[in-house]
Structure 1
């Protein structure tokens, strides 16, 4: 039996008139009420009639991009790549910054659905909890049912059956090159400033770095691992905590460049020289990595290329194919040298 408007109203706990207003979009409805109705529509796979079905699959040509933090140069570079490709395709891009908040991310997805976005690109880390994955899977089904194409850039799918294209980076390859460089210079007491716990990028980078170090014969000591949040200030705070703990280390490897820049500032604040006393590395190769003194040794991610490939993939017609994995590259600058006699004595103190 076909699902009726009344069925949707009962499921959402509202009147049929309210359901009609949400579907038509021609009357103001409270956000919480609208979300309930939209969820009921998705859950019941409700379509009003042939005209509504046609509207359901119509798109506006809009490209919606949801980023964790628009101020972070990592996301800015990816956004540049998307914007450049969109301009060539004569598509309008709307950038949304969720501040890594799940509810904001979901709200933006619903806004983009109401605007009949042709493509939605989710950029950056996602929460790792099961509740988030379940809710995101529902939003993905809604996007697909509406005819929108979904691309995940720098994040895994919420489940193995997610209908989405994927662009990611060879994190393990980059970690292996970085770990080999650091260990080959004689560092064995390596501290690590990780990304935020419970989010995919932070977990992925920590795991691959630990694996890469292990392959070089060095174990990542849990006592030398401090979590940050990918901001410069969290790099400062992490190194302050490491120093206050009395831990011994000759190198600090950070999960991104912003935290590495903060780590360098905290070491200078403590009267330590980089790299003579402590070496420092990052990941991403944001523009400021080459402008600081000393220049930051890091793993370069092709961020703008990831943005370009994400949008190109959305229009390729092959969005259910194998994930696109972009190569990474070790960039050696001046922030890593062999441990000095002074740093070796500090390590043994």
Structure 2
């Protein structure tokens, strides 16, 4: 059954004229009303009838790139690589397509809203980067949205995100679990046994997978795998700085720290230096991702190098129809342990 503008108005408890104003963006509307209308649009999967020129084509020349935080190099590198590859056969203006970067701020609701807006614009492709939120209700809503997009002819590529089965989306999934396992195994091989872990937000798939890899390595070495030396927080420098105080409170004899990513690791290193501790002589520190600043940190950071640019470029080519989709719609992208000066054996 076709959803009409009147259906959206009824769901949002506003007039059809207000819905039209929100969707067309040609008249001031209160923010609360706007959010209510966009929520109704998302819930009903309403697609605005565009002008005749838009209706004549299945998709436009628009490509949406969803990121959690464009200021984070992790997402900036992938978004830039996607944009560099989306030109090619099929675009109306010299083969080029218009890339729109949508910054969700990590909000599941904003993620769905952007997908609704891209659906309404008949986007040629959508690339979603980074980990997913582990919430059953959101996963169901996201799956329905992705199916609606792919059914309408939009190519959907998940870059650095687990697959979304039965949606038609292609996934280039990072092996976060394997990378986490390698980092901790490296520390264990150096002789560390008192290892703290600074994890990301608990609701993110990236957080869970990296932490699972860490615990697998501990278990293989016969060490406890509980959460007594694990602290959760955002993927930012401040989180790493704060976490060191808590980890040292729990275990003053800590000899190594695994950080959720390189940015968190920098914060941890700063906090250790502030306490008069040397890296790696007193405490070894490892990160994850191998962001550009990692090699220039003091000391240079041991980390897992993820091929962010290559993965983003591949996602862009698939989104543009210039590269064949991987078999089964899924390719696992592996990282590489990169050992630098921030790790060493613990003091005897």
Shared fold per TM-score greater than 0.5: yes
Instruction: Provide Cα deviations, 1:26-45, integer angstroms capped at 9, x if missing partner.
Output: 865953464355346538xx
Q: Is the Cα–Cα contact under 8 Å of residues 63 and 100 in structure 2 kept in the other structure?
A: yes
**Aligned pair partner of 1:98 in 92, 104, 114:** 104
Q: Residues of 2 paired with 1:154 and 1:216: CA distance?
A: 29
Aligned to 1:336: 343
Rounded to whole Å, the distance in 1 between the matches of 2:57 and 2:298 is 53
Q: What is aligned with 1:295? A: 300
| 1:321 equivalent among 296, 314, 328 | 328
Aligned residues of 2:235 and 2:264 also touching (Cα < 8 A): yes
How much does 1:264 deviate? 0.6
| Pair 117,234 (structure 1): closer, same or farther in 2 beyond 3 Å | same
The Cα shift of 1:65 comes to: 0.5
Q: Cα 1:18–1:267, aligned 2, differ >3 Å: closer, same or farther?
A: closer
When residues 156 and 7 of structure 1 are mapped into structure 2, their CA distance, relative to the original with a 3 A threshold, is same
Please report the RMSD computed on the Cα atoms of aligned residues, expressed in angstroms. Answer: 3.1
Q: What do the CA deviations read for 1:232-281 (whole angstroms, capped 9, x no partner)?
A: 11000011211233443110011111111111111001110000000000
Residues in 2 aligned to 1:102 and 1:20: alpha-carbon distance in whole angstroms: 25
Contact 2:305 2:336 in 1 (8 A): yes
Of 257, 264, 280 in structure 2, the residue corresponding to residue 259 of structure 1 is: 264
Question: For residues 308 and 37 of structure 2, what CA distance do their matches in structure 1 show?
Answer: 36
TM-score (structure 2 length as normaliser): 0.85
Q: Secondary structure at the match of 2:162?
A: coil
Q: Does 1:35 align with 2:41?
A: no
- Give 2:140's match in structure 1, choosing from 128, 134, 139: 134
Question: 1:313, 1:319 within 8 Å by CA — same for their partners in 2?
Answer: no
Corresponding residue for residue 214 of structure 2: 209
2:162 to 156, 163, 168: 156
CA separation of 1:98/1:177 partners in 2, compared to 1, >3 Å: closer, same or farther? same
Gap change, CA 1:338 and 1:6, over 3 Å in 2: closer
Q: Which runs of 5+ in 1 are unaligned?
A: 342-349
Matched residues in 2 for 1:178 and 1:199: separation? 20
Q: Give CA-to-partner distance per residue, 1:320-347, whole Å, 9 cap, x none.
A: 8231111211111011111113xxxxxx
Aligned mate of 1:119, from 125, 129, 133: 125
Q: 1:5 to 1:189 in 2, by over 3 A?
A: closer
Task: Write the distance in 2 (CA, Å) between the matches of 1:18 and 1:58.
Answer: 27
| SS of corresponding position for 2:313 | helix
Relative to 1, partners in 2 of residues 1:320 and 1:138: Cα closer, same or farther, differing over 3 Å?
A: farther
Give unpaired runs (5+ residues) of structure 2: 89-94
Task: State whether structure 2 residue 90 is matched by structure 1 residue 84.
Answer: no
- Provide the secondary structure at the position in 2 that maps to 1:312: helix
Sort the Cα spacing of 1:14 and 1:2 in 2 relative to 1 into closer, same or farther, 3 A: same
CA shift, 1:79, in A, is 1.5
TM-score, L = length of structure 1: 0.84
Contact 1:300 1:329 in 2 (8 A): yes
Q: Find the residue that maps to 2:314 and give its secondary structure.
A: helix
How many residue pairs match? The answer is 336
2:219 match: secondary structure? helix
Q: Is the 8 A contact 1:168 1:306 kept in 2?
A: no
- C-alpha change, 1:297 and 1:55, in structure 2 (3 Å) is same
Range 85-94 or range 232-241, more displaced: 85-94
